[in-house]
Amino acid sequence: MKDDVEELYDYETLRREAEATMFVVHVSRPTLVLGSSQARDVLDDDRLGDTPLRRRRGGGGLVLLRPDDLWIDWWIPQDDIRWSNDVHISSVMAGRWWAETLRTLTSEPVSVYEGPLDGDPAFRAVCFAGRGPGEVFVAERKAVGLTQWRVRQGVLLSTVLHAHPTSDVLAYLNHVPEGLGDALDHRILSSFTLANPEEITGHLASNSGPWRLRALLLAT
């Protein structure tokens, strides 16, 4: 989509990356991120203030990222054994990596959603208000959101477990459908017993790897 919203990543550099890479990503301050084809007019520009706005190359709706969110991305080149040309298979694979990890942190049931995109169409302006393939739920509440970007050279699987509730995102919308706030009731990092971001990252790396590991700080 052509508009004045800066992209979240340097995607053109990423697509030239030949090595399978797991990124541990942080934003420098709270940042709103639009989906790849999402119109900017879902937002009330008068309410943005100094909140940075970026656009990702990946499906879904608006998401509010904060510096202490557990944001994990996997870049899988086309010649890697974990690459698949099936969008659904790739998403579910990443969800299973997360589910295996989260089962070590909770006694509640952890599930990976494997169906088609689901949820009230009126809520799709916001990413965490519905269900998509590969997303992870704990006792039927979303814990991990997922989106992907696919090009000829590979696929980027982008996931996040929020550190805080994200209902603040509603304050930026032009229109808030009734019930959207309740639909955004998701799990956060501190809801898991002994949740340590470094240990979670290490477990994810070991049960999905091998990878080159990279930490990224996106200055927004």
Every domain of the chain and the residues it spans:
6-218
In the three-class reduction of DSSP (H, G, I as helix; E, B as strand; rest coil), residue 163 is classed as coil
CATH fold of 6-218 reads BirA Bifunctional Protein; domain 2 (3.30.930)
Residue 108 has phi, psi (to 5 degrees) of -80, 160
pLDDT in 10s for each residue of the chain, 220 residues: 557 899 999 999 999 999 999 999 999 999 999 999 999 999 999 999 999 999 999 989 999 999 999 999 999 999 999 999 999 999 999 999 999 999 999 999 999 999 998 988 889 899 999 999 999 999 999 999 999 999 999 999 999 999 999 999 999 999 999 999 999 999 999 999 888 999 999 999 999 999 999 999 999 9
Burial label for 121, CB within 10 Å (0-12, 13-18, 19+), is: exposed
Q: What is the pLDDT of residue 1?
A: 57
**Identity at 57, one-letter amino acid code:** R
Instruction: List strands edge to edge, sheet with 70-77.
Output: 110-112, 136-138, 141-151, 154-161, 70-77, 21-27, 212-218
CA-based diameter of the chain, in Å?
47
Residue 29 in contact with residue 218, Cβ under 8 Å? Answer: no
Q: What is the phi-psi region of residue 120: left when phi exceeds 0, alpha when psi lies from -120 to 50, beta otherwise?
A: beta
Q: What is the pLDDT of residue 2?
A: 58
Residue 150: per-residue pLDDT: 97
